[in-house]
Amino acid sequence: MQTMENKWEMLEQTSESREKIWSRNRTFAADVWFRLCRKPTAVAGLLMILLFMLFALVGPFLTSYSYSDQSLEMVNIPPVMKVYDVGSCRVYITPSLKLIRVDENGSLTGMLPVVRYEHEKSMTIFDCDGKEVALYYGRSVYVVCDEATGNIYPAGHIWNHDHLLGTDALGRDILARLMYGTRVSLMVAFVSVLVNLVIGILYGGISGFLGGMVDAVMMRIVDIISTIPLTLYVILIMMVFGQGLQSIIIALGLVYWVDMARVVRGQVLSLKQQEFVLAARTIGSSSRTILLQHLIPNAMGSILVTATMLIPSAIFMEAFLGYLGIGLRPPLASLGTMCNDANANLRTSPHELLIPALVICLIMFAFNFLGDGMRDALDPKLKK
């Protein structure tokens, strides 16, 4: 036992020392953030969303193409090209049986002019810097060869430097269109969140808070709205406002809050029985205070989770409508319309479908991961 001076002196005790709370003073938001950060999938989801936002908002300034620039010479070119070294230059065979000159970096420098057609040999002869090269299309794998000897030129793969993700059937840069498409998807996500947070919360909150007849009528209206499919709304709204993004946004805004309203109502109904709400009533607080300060902040956990979980379905809904061809008007790009456009050339240029489909998947994954993490972070049962 170590010796201690004045060890038998009375200990000074203050109200502070007795009532001291040791835990760090953290607000609810900070607490949730802390728990969210400890979940790798949630952080990954959040990072992905941030990257997509950067991609969609800053990306268009970094590329020289716009979503509508067409180049009929450069159609359906993949991101990785199979090129033939014909000596003086490299050439790439387009799906429409043309030859494009490619330099050593992978930039496309122009089409080779056709010299003549040799139908009986199944060949087309092109002029490459004065040298004649033949495109042989007699077999399913087209090759570039020497007309006279039939020797196939050595082939290799090279990354498409001009169009990193290739071009579509109209020769538009897929990367540029992807940026605009992601922008549309994120915009739809944003609108759905906004609508959910404003209309959904207020509608559900008021319905649950007032209860009785008001609640019954308001919830029947919600039932009616949710029984009619969203596609039908979009089609109807397009009759009025015409085809385009605005119709989709208006349709989402009009009906996309019903799930949130139901969740908020349920929460409010159960919170209403809690003692702190009774306490607010006995204090004499106004209904407004009770709803906005007591009920909704306490329902915020479920609200945030529902909102993040609804985003992917909104994004998918937009993509789905786009794919059906009732979304944006061309040449505007959305991920759904890009998939639709790619359908025609699916066999020869599968990248045109795969790339936007992959982006849809990734965005939905990211939001789902984030929503999952949010639910865990907001669940007080796991807090212990």
Partner 1 sequence: MNENILEVEHLTQHFRLGRKEVVHAVDDVSFCIRRGQTLGLVGESGCGKSSCARSIIRVYDPTGGTILLDGTDITHMSQKQLQPLRRKMQMVFQDPYSSLNARMTVRDIIAEPLLAHHVVKNREQANSFVYPMLERVGLTREHADRYAHEFSGGQRQRVGIARALVLQPELVICDEPISALDVSIQAQVVNLLRDYQQEKGLAYLFIAHDLSMVRYVSDVVGVMYLGQLVELCGAEEIYSHPLHPYTQGLLSAIPVANPALARQKKSGGVAGDLPSPVTPPAGCRFHTRCPFAKPICSQEAPCMKEAAPGHSVACHLYD
Partner 2 sequence: MEAILTVNNLKTTFLTGSGAVQAVRGISFQVGKGEIVGIVGESGSGKSVSSMSILRLLPGTARIDRESSIVFDGQELTGLTPKQLRQIRGKRISMIFQDPMSSLNPLIPVGKQVEEMLKIHHKELTREQLRRQVLELFGQVRIPEPEKRLKEFPHQFSGGMRQRVMIAMALANKPDLLIADEPTTALDVTIQDQILKQLRTLQQESGASIIFITHDLGVVAELCQRVLVMYGGLIMEEAPIDDLFENPGHPYTMGLMASIPALNQDKTGRLPSIPGSPPDMTNPPQGCPFAPRCPYARKICAAQCPPYVSLGENRRSMCWLLQPDAPAENNPFRKEAAR
Residue numbers at the binding site for partner 2 (CB under 8 A): 1-2, 4, 6-11, 13, 15, 17-24, 31, 34-35, 38, 383-384
Which of 1/148 has CB closer to partner 2? 1
Select from partner 1, partner 2, none the partner in contact with residue 85, using the beta carbon and a kind-dependent cut-off of 5 to 8 Å.
Answer: none
**Among residues 57, 229, 276, 382, which is the contact residue for partner 1, using CB under 8 A?**
276
Least CB distance from residue 36 to partner 1, whole Å? 17
Query: Could you tell me the sign of the dihedral formed by the alpha carbons of 292, 294, 296, 300, in that order?
Result: positive
What 8-state DSSP symbol labels residue 81? E
Where does residue 171 fall: left (phi above 0), alpha (psi -120 to 50 degrees), or beta otherwise?
A: left
Judged by beta carbon distances under 5 to 8 A according to partner kind, the member of partner 1, partner 2, none in contact with residue 66 is none
Q: What are phi and psi of 320, to 5 degrees?
A: -65, -45
Contact range with partner 1 by CB under 8 A, out of 48-56, 137-145, 165-173, 275-283 = 275-283
The verdict on 275 binding partner 1 (CB under 8 A) reads yes
Q: Rounded to 5 degrees, what are φ and ψ at 157?
A: -105, 140
Tally the residues of the chain: 384
**Mind giving me the DSSP string for 119-133?**
GGGTEEEEEETTEEE
Q: HSE of 117 in the Cβ direction (CA atoms, 13 Å)?
A: 4
Q: Are 311 and 193 in contact (CB under 8 A)?
A: yes
Q: Is 34 in the site for partner 1 (CB under 8 A)?
A: no
Neighbours of 278 (CB within 10 A): 11
Pairing of strands 131-136, 123-128: antiparallel
Q: Does 159 bind partner 1 (CB under 8 A)?
A: no
| Interacting positions 337-366 with partner 1 (CB under 8 A) | none
Stretch that binds partner 1, among 22-30, 206-214, 228-236, 325-333 (CB under 8 A): 22-30
Binding mask 294-313 for partner 1 (x = CB under 8 A): x--xx-x-------------
- Verify binding: residue 274, partner 1, rule CB under 8 A: yes
Backbone angles phi, psi at 165, to 5 degrees: -110, 15
Residue 21 interacts with partner 1 (CB under 8 A): yes or no: yes
Q: In the window 278-297, what residues touch partner 1 (CB under 8 A)?
A: 278-286, 289, 293-294, 297
Q: What are the Cα distances from residue 240, in Å, to 33, 36, 227, 231, 331? A: 44, 44, 21, 15, 21
Q: Given the rule CB under 8 A, which residues bind partner 1?
A: 15-16, 19, 21, 23, 25, 27-28, 274-276, 278-286, 289, 293-294, 297-298, 300
